[in-house]
Structure 1
Amino acid sequence: MKYTQFIAAIIGAAVTITGTTVLAERAGAGDHMRPSFSDMDTNADGQITPEEIAARGEARLAKVDTDGDGFLSEAEMVAAATERASQRHARMVERMDANADGKLSLDEMKPKRDRGARMFERADTDNSGGISEEEFAEATKKMERHMRKGHSRDHAGDAPAAD
């Protein structure tokens, strides 16, 4: 029984950490999310050309290259990262601040449901009360597929991106 509880704790911790990381990445990704086909097909001719891809990269560089010298300095990269983090944190406070005091308490940041228990139930496909090595491997594969699927969405999260 101790082994089962240990595995449950490991899966619960992994799910919590992974879920939090993914949510943070998705919430603050902004320009770093993979663009949709229509974002890349700037002339709307139904095809993405190497020139359109290059232009997108140049536009992203220009946005961060605040002194316009064609290079990214450490200060410019730190400023861009700081701005993205600030925007991500503002959205998180707006979304989670239940009492509208402009701050997040530990209670406001806690998941509303017990994700660990739900993940354990999903992984325990034979309902034995424990997770076998095979079930663990299958749950891991499912989580990896789910994460890859989430990272292949556009900004709105509603359309697969072109690979």
Structure 2
Amino acid sequence: MDKNKLKILLATTLIAAGAGMAIAQDTATTPDAEATEAGPMDFATLDADGSGEITVEDMEAMRANRFAEFDTNGDGNVTLEEFTAHAQAKAAERAGEMFGRLDADGDGNLSRDALEARMGRGGPGARMIDRFDTDNSGGVSQEEFDAAKERMTERRGMRGGHDGEKGGWHKFRN
């Protein structure tokens, strides 16, 4: 393989790895720093050693640090309990952030009226009726429901399913 192809392959691999890490990782830890704030991955975070370049070693350090976040007892293995605790902590963090955004007046309470006001008139149910009610009767008939279900199944099929074929496992569900 010539040098240019190798450079392109390495750059593509680093970009893909960095993008994958950015999507999968809510917080990042560098070898000599505490966890950074949750948010999008940036160059400085990916350049774990601060060398000015993102290297394979930086990616390895990111992977090791990510694993260490799960492996709280440091034994080199992640148990179901460690995995569950990590997931619960992340879920609680996200729920707290969402609650903070929804609690517009900051009183620590969310009333039904406040929640419904954030969702718009009638909430998601009204949006579903508006989208599915093709004859504008104010409701969704069995025929409209079946047609909408078919449209959604076709759209999912265009993206591929869990078995990699058009329609995937969705084509077997009713």
- After TM superposition, the score normalised by the length of structure 2 is 0.44
Where relative contact order (Cα < 8 A, 6+ residues apart) is larger, the structure is: 1
- After TM superposition, the score normalised by the length of structure 1 is 0.47
